[in-house]
Chain A
Amino acid sequence: MTKLSARSEAYLRRYRGWLRMFPNAFRSRFADEMALVLRDQLEDLEERGHAELTRDAYHAALSDIPLNLLQEWLTTPPALSNLGLTGTRAFWYALTFLSLLTVAGAIFQLPAIVAVASITAVISVIGFVWYQTGRVSLTILCLGIMIGGIAAVMSLTAYFPALTPTADEAIWSLVIGYFGAIVPATFYAAWLRLNSAYYSPKLLASLGDEQLRKLEQDNARKRRFAYRGILVTALIILIPNLIALYDPARDLSFISTPEHSVPRQQNAYYKMEAIPLSASEELPTQESENVIEYIEGIRWNPTDTTRILSEAQPTLQALSDANQLAGYQMPGLEFASDNPSQPMPPHAFVDYPRYQRAENLALLSAKKDFLSDNDEAGLKTVEEILQINAKIDASNQPLAYHSFIDAYQLEAAKLLLTVAKDEPASWKAELKQQLPAAKTIWKNGSRALAWDTLDELGSINQGSITNALPLPPYAFQPNRTKYLVAEEAKKLIDQPMTACADMPGSGKPPSGYDMPTLSKYLTYNGFGNEIVASAFFETQYHGNDCNLIGYLGDLGKAIE
């Protein structure tokens, strides 16, 4: 007997450690013998003066473990056998549970990814159980379990808001988890496979020293190849991530600041704010447009919008009643009723359509509040809004919120028409009362445009988060422009009426707009053109409204 080198002894100790993973019955019967076989091999190699090959023998023995380990665990009755469960059956129960979990995740959070992952996992395990064991089966099994595991974890994080990733983070995490784990593992497995051929006892016995030396050189070359492969793979994975880290949109540190202490799901808004305008200069035009088309294709479903609006009133009442009964404590409902722009809490996923309706209801409810001050005129306006919306939806026109403005404008125009048409003294007093209401209607209508734009952005972002749409960070960029325009509009609306003096209705941009900034988008992409055009439209519109308000004011003075 030759005393083993320290390195071989270390290999042997490690190998014994791995053998502890086998079921107790198998381990107690065979582990010593298995270790002895490896010891014999290591001794054999060292005695022949090829200590370098001991590492290969060790790795080959290691690579031989996983499949047999699984096989033993699957065929060894566990202690649960007292309950009538075999290891195989318990495994299937666990698999069923995992599948249900991932399918639930598919329904509630990450549809495509989790569905694919769970199916892959199930098929892989079935493939392993059904067919004879082999390295291919093992690779597929490991792949499936890994994907299934990642998917299950991703699904579970949906229920812990602090951990819930945004859409692009989710995608990145999955990609990193997938390639970061699978690719190096595959390379490592390939490396073990390449080297495992050398430990063949017969091969070793038949080779002379010179040939063995060549084998060692060849072995080293292959190992270098494998290391380079792992390095290149790591770089492929790391480089885009490092680039992404430099993207200001991914700087989430501000979320934890007191003024922005919001649930993590909301951070899409703040992400938009965090992107400097200069970042948009690198926007790929065509890709942005494609993303916009994609988003709007999902966002605007006229049939669905009509259905939601038709259900709005009764559902509003039901929601209100339910909230009152629950003392505003019922999970999910309070979000919808109190703050429509809040993102969905995870537990609201269980009734997404209801929540979606509730959000719309709450929006209508907010509008109803200020309209209620105008009594019949307000309620009539609501009806008109619904009618106009229905018409717009029926004609497949997007941007249904424009109809709100139309309705308010219509209401104000009606009052104007009344003034122009009839001037009986008996109506003057009534008109004097109605003119402030008309102004309020106009102002709130304009604010509604701004808010609706913000809500729309919230919906788009929320949709991208909850549906895990594969949106790259720059997909938010055009919406950010819209967001800025809406914010500008809000500021203008809230300015004192004297601001109208600066806007004679000639189409001159209102002073509140940062036109040079907005104009930058004109040169960047098609969507920029659209935004700038829409900004001019808003300006013109605002100017006209100033005229309208001024006209109404003049009329009021005349009436007095």
Chain B
Amino acid sequence: MRNQEEGHHLGVRSYAVLLALSEGERHGYDLMKQVALDSDNAIVMGPATLYTTLKRLLELQLIAESEKKSDGPHAAQRRYYRLSSTGRTALADELERSEKFSSLLRRRLA
């Protein structure tokens, strides 16, 4: 996560979390499963990795804690997270950057 505070680069895990939240609000375990699903099991995060990543994203205000409350067991501890507008912009930037590199790569390989 080098230079993440400057917003230059986010790690692949951070983008995976942002991507998982792009479909809606999720809590920890749900988020963990979605990341694994989205990455075709390439990114498997343990609880510690997940929450250190969430902490960074919260600090950068790319995500925010949702108002949504669980009505199931352990409702008090269960928190939901959502993508912020900044996070959505970061995802869009990443998409643009990826597409740019992809098209460049396609041209060079052609």
Give chain A's interface residues, CB within 8 Å of chain B. 1, 26, 29-30, 32-41, 44, 60-61, 63-65, 67-69, 71-72, 132-133, 196-197, 199-203, 205
Complex CA gap A37/B27 in Å reads: 9
Within 8 A of A (CB), among B75-106: 77-79
Q: Tell me whether A61 and B48 are in contact (CB under 8 A).
A: yes
Select the residue from B36, B52, B74 with max chain A CB neighbours within 10 A: B52
Q: Tell me whether A33 and B28 are in contact (CB under 8 A).
A: yes
Q: 8 shortest A-B CB distances, which residue pairs? A: A64-B46, A40-B29, A1-B73, A68-B48, A201-B33, A202-B36, A34-B47, A37-B28
Select the residue from B28, B41, B44, B46 with max chain A CB neighbours within 10 A: B46
Q: Could you tell me how many residues of chain B have their Cβ less than 8 Å away from some Cβ of chain A?
A: 27
Known: A26-B55, A38-B47. A132 touches B74 (CB 8 A): no
15 A-B pairs with C-beta separation under 8 A = A1-B72, A29-B55, A32-B77, A36-B74, A37-B28, A37-B29, A63-B46, A64-B46, A65-B46, A65-B48, A68-B52, A132-B2, A200-B36, A202-B33, A203-B41
B88 to chain A, nearest CB (A): 23
Q: Tell me whether B41 and A64 are in contact (CB under 8 A).
A: no
Known: A30-B54, A68-B49, A132-B2. A36 touches B78 (CB 8 A): yes
Give chain B's interface residues, CB within 8 Å of chain A. 1-2, 11, 28-29, 32-33, 36-37, 41, 44-52, 54-55, 72-74, 77-79
B5 to chain A, nearest CB (A): 10
B10 to chain A, nearest CB (A): 11
Complex CA gap A60/B32 in Å reads: 14
Contacts of A40 in B (CB 8 A): 28-29
| Besides A71-B52, A201-B37, 19 new A-B residue pairs in contact (Cβ under 8 A), listed by A number | A1-B72, A26-B51, A30-B51, A33-B28, A34-B48, A36-B77, A37-B29, A44-B29, A61-B48, A65-B48, A132-B1, A132-B2, A133-B1, A200-B36, A201-B32, A201-B36, A202-B36, A202-B37, A205-B33
Contacts of A63 in B (CB 8 A): 46
Cross-interface CB contact of B49 among A35, A64, A197, A202, cutoff 8 Å: A64
Cross-interface CB contact of B47 among A44, A64, A200, cutoff 8 Å: A64
B57 to chain A, nearest CB (A): 12
Complex CA gap A426/B78 in Å reads: 117
A139 to chain B, nearest CB (A): 16
Q: Tell me whether A36 and B29 are in contact (CB under 8 A).
A: yes
Contacts of B11 in A (CB 8 A): 132
Contacts of B45 in A (CB 8 A): 64
Q: Tell me whether B46 and A60 are in contact (CB under 8 A).
A: yes
Complex CA gap A133/B2 in Å reads: 10
Contacts of A200 in B (CB 8 A): 36, 41, 44
Complex CA gap A36/B44 in Å reads: 17
Known: A202-B36, A202-B37, A203-B41. A37 touches B77 (CB 8 A): no
Nearest-CB residue, chain A, relative to B11 = A132
B23 to chain A, nearest CB (A): 15
B56 to chain A, nearest CB (A): 9
Contacts of B28 in A (CB 8 A): 33-34, 36-37, 40
Known: A132-B1, A200-B41, A202-B33. A33 touches B78 (CB 8 A): yes
A261 to chain B, nearest CB (A): 54
B48 to chain A, nearest CB (A): 4
B107 to chain A, nearest CB (A): 29
Known: A34-B48, A201-B36. A41 touches B29 (CB 8 A): yes
Contacts of A33 in B (CB 8 A): 28, 51, 77-79
A62 to chain B, nearest CB (A): 9
Nearest-CB residue, chain A, relative to B50 = A37
Complex CA gap A30/B28 in Å reads: 10
Nearest-CB residue, chain A, relative to B74 = A36
Complex CA gap A41/B29 in Å reads: 7
Complex CA gap A202/B34 in Å reads: 8
Complex CA gap A159/B46 in Å reads: 45
B49 to chain A, nearest CB (A): 5
Contacts of B32 in A (CB 8 A): 37, 201
Complex CA gap A470/B49 in Å reads: 44
A345 to chain B, nearest CB (A): 49
Cross-interface CB contact of A34 among B37, B44, B51, B72, cutoff 8 Å: B51
Nearest-CB residue, chain A, relative to B28 = A37
Contacts of B48 in A (CB 8 A): 34, 61, 64-65, 67-69
Known: A36-B77, A202-B36. A61 touches B52 (CB 8 A): no
Complex CA gap A547/B54 in Å reads: 96
Contacts of A67 in B (CB 8 A): 48-49
A200 to chain B, nearest CB (A): 5
Contacts of A65 in B (CB 8 A): 46, 48
Contacts of A1 in B (CB 8 A): 72-74
Q: Tell me whether A30 and B55 are in contact (CB under 8 A).
A: yes
Complex CA gap A50/B45 in Å reads: 21
Contacts of A41 in B (CB 8 A): 29
